Structure 1
Amino acid sequence: MGIVHFLNVNEGDCIWIEHPSEHNTIIDISNGEEVTNIFESVSLSGNHNQKNYPVNPIKYFKDRNVSTIFRFILTHPDMDHMDGIKELFDTFEILNFWDTENTKVMDDNSDWGRYNKEDWNFYQKIRTSSSSPKVLHLYAGQKGKYYNQTEDGKSGADGLYLLAPTTDLVEEANKSEDYNDCSYVILYRTGNNKKIIFAGDSAEKTWDYILDNYKEDVRDIDILIAPHHGRKTGGNDKYLDVLKPKLTLFGNSKSEYLDYSSWNNRGLDHITNNQANCIIINTTGKNGMDVYVTYEVFAKKCNPCTFYDESYAGWYIMTI
């Protein structure tokens, strides 16, 4: 079965797809440093404050017996998408690395904030390595073995279809030094014809391109991982009217930056990491896609009949 884990990793991204092929795909990493944080007690109001209780994705993978990662996809070269990349590569065997051909530069004078300069230096080293992992620069519409073709060339495999970027979008991002519009956007087609979009930090130019070229592919999807964590800077003015996601997952960001109104005005359901902590989706449930969360209080608020499932280490809240 295909299982998607949308991890609560502070203000960053990390997604794990367990494919039926037994391949593991990791999209981005954040909060991957071995740091222990202590926070105040959890609020039981509408703001559940789960941003203050992020998981370390490396520990999360270890606890679930991951040893090999078939592909690691870095959507774009922002530090909140590679926070802990060195530790990830040091801990697990990683066979394939998807990277954009960006020319972003950071130096000793850059503002590193809470991030580790060693992660950036490691990224620069690994992306030019001729040894393992295999570095792939893939663009919209490309097809290949294992990500969307089987060994005999038939469609399917791990169900990952690239909607962006294009070489033009990457080139333009390199010139403008705004790297959100060179972000990978990936359509995941499950074996039971469900559609999930992993949108990275894609912005207006990317979605203009997608709607011009893949409008029917992205129409009426099941789940959207909101672009740019759900911020107002993600997407464009029209994409939600086409996608009409049954459920959207937001990452963590300050509430004033999140684009709640675009979803609320359209009557579109959404859940944030700040509410639910981690969100796990079994894409092949009996009646649809089963959604679990790792924060019990929020689960009971969503569904008074919730139950805990040990196989997902989460509480069931809905089927879509």
Structure 2
Amino acid sequence: MGNLKVRVWDVKHGNAIFVRTPNNKNLVYDLGRGDYSENSEDRSPLETLYDHYKIRDIHYLVITHPHRDHIDDILNLDKFNLVSLHRPVSLDKKAILQGISERDRPKFNKFFELDESFTEDATDSTTISNPDNYGGVKINVFQTEELNDNLNNISIFSVLQYEGLKIIIPGDNEYESLELLMERSDFRDAVKNADILIAPHHGRESAYHTEFLKLVNPRVTIISDGSLCDTSANAKYSSMSRGWRVHQKGQKVKRNLLTTNSDGEIYIDFGRNQEGKYLQIEIK
């Protein structure tokens, strides 16, 4: 078996992550689009997967929650054979569509079309995938339903584990939902001592939870965001991360924090080699 490979796309204030499992299954987390480094709204990760990676099947798609910056690229899904869809349960379609601009309405209509056609794959808070399906990759999934007045707080929260290494993809969960999740022993066990944390809610203060960060204890935190704003908790995430040697312009540089707005796309490769656990992070 090979390694688990992860690409965190540079999609401005949004989220889009591509995962290739050791048995060549294609996992996609969120559908942001754009390119902060090129000041472009048109860059489509899905088009890149289709045209350059020659991918035709998406085996596992997670839309953490239906905010525009997480579904901007959704109309390009028609090019692919979509095997499974995972998204929050208990969505209020009328409330979500209220106030949506005419320009964005086709994207949300597409989301609900998919939501209705994949009824058997709705995610609940007890979902744990069979690792045999994904080359030994174990996927734990959590969601709170109590806070559905704020879509961020019902985001699907995922933990991927492979060969003793761990990456956390929490969507836009904020402090309130993290507080609820931290009450669960299975959640605490799943997130403890991770290697990579994708910061919840783009690294905003509204999602910063000190006890959660202490438990996760990440080597590196990655923030997917556009320009730095007043509510950024970047410095806090950096201080709470252990650091790792990152391949950066031909050199290995110890980094605690990576951000798409300053580092561009981020590539992660992890698994096991002859020397034991293997983790490589690269920015180009």
Give the TM-score normalised by the residue count of structure 2.
0.82
Report the counterpart of residue 172 of structure 1 in structure 2: 147
Report the counterpart of residue 211 of structure 2 in structure 1: 238
Distance in 1 (CA, whole Å) between partners of 2:199 and 2:73 is 22
- Aligned pairs for 1:7-18 within 5 A: 7-18=9-20
Distance in 1 (CA, whole Å) between partners of 2:239 and 2:219 is 14
Report the counterpart of residue 58 of structure 2 in structure 1: 69
Distance in 2 (CA, whole Å) between partners of 1:103 and 1:3 is 35
1:92 and 2:76 correspond: no
Q: Which has the higher strand share?
A: 2
Distance in 2 (CA, whole Å) between partners of 1:24 and 1:77 is 21
Report the counterpart of residue 112 of structure 1 in structure 2: 101
Question: Could you tell me whether the CA contact under 8 Å between 1:187 and 1:198 is conserved in 2?
Answer: yes
Report the counterpart of residue 116 of structure 2 in structure 1: 128
Distance in 1 (CA, whole Å) between partners of 2:236 and 2:101 is 32
Q: Which runs of 5+ in 1 are unaligned?
A: 38-48, 295-320
1:140 and 2:140 correspond: no
Report the counterpart of residue 235 of structure 2 in structure 1: 261
1:217 and 2:204 correspond: no
Question: Could you tell me whether the CA contact under 8 Å between 2:14 and 2:32 is conserved in 1?
Answer: yes
SS of the aligned residue for 2:83 comes to strand
Which digits, 9 at most, give the CA deviation of each residue in 1:203-242, with x for residues without a partner? Answer: 1232223322222332211000110111111142321111
Which digits, 9 at most, give the CA deviation of each residue in 1:27-68, with x for residues without a partner? Answer: 110127xxxx9xxxxxxxxxxx62725742022212112110
Report the counterpart of residue 301 of structure 1 in structure 2: none
1:150 and 2:152 correspond: no
- Matching residue's letter, 1:258: S
Give the TM-score normalised by the residue count of structure 1.
0.74
Compared CA separation, residues 111 and 196, structure 1 to 2 (3 A): same
Question: Could you tell me whether the CA contact under 8 Å between 1:51 and 1:252 is conserved in 2?
Answer: no
Question: Could you tell me whether the CA contact under 8 Å between 2:218 and 2:241 is conserved in 1?
Answer: no
- Matching residue's letter, 1:84: D
The share of aligned pairs that are identical, in percent, is 20
- Cα deviation for residue 274 of structure 1 reads 1.1
Question: Could you tell me whether the CA contact under 8 Å between 1:148 and 1:161 is conserved in 2?
Answer: no
1:207 and 2:192 correspond: no
Number of residue pairs matched?
259
Bigger Rg, which one: 1
SS of the aligned residue for 2:205 comes to coil
1:186 and 2:176 correspond: no
Q: Which runs of 5+ in 2 are unaligned?
A: 243-255
Question: Could you tell me whether the CA contact under 8 Å between 1:51 and 1:274 is conserved in 2?
Answer: no
1:228 and 2:201 correspond: yes
Report the counterpart of residue 313 of structure 1 in structure 2: none
Compared CA separation, residues 2 and 267, structure 1 to 2 (3 A): closer
Compared CA separation, residues 285 and 278, structure 1 to 2 (3 A): farther
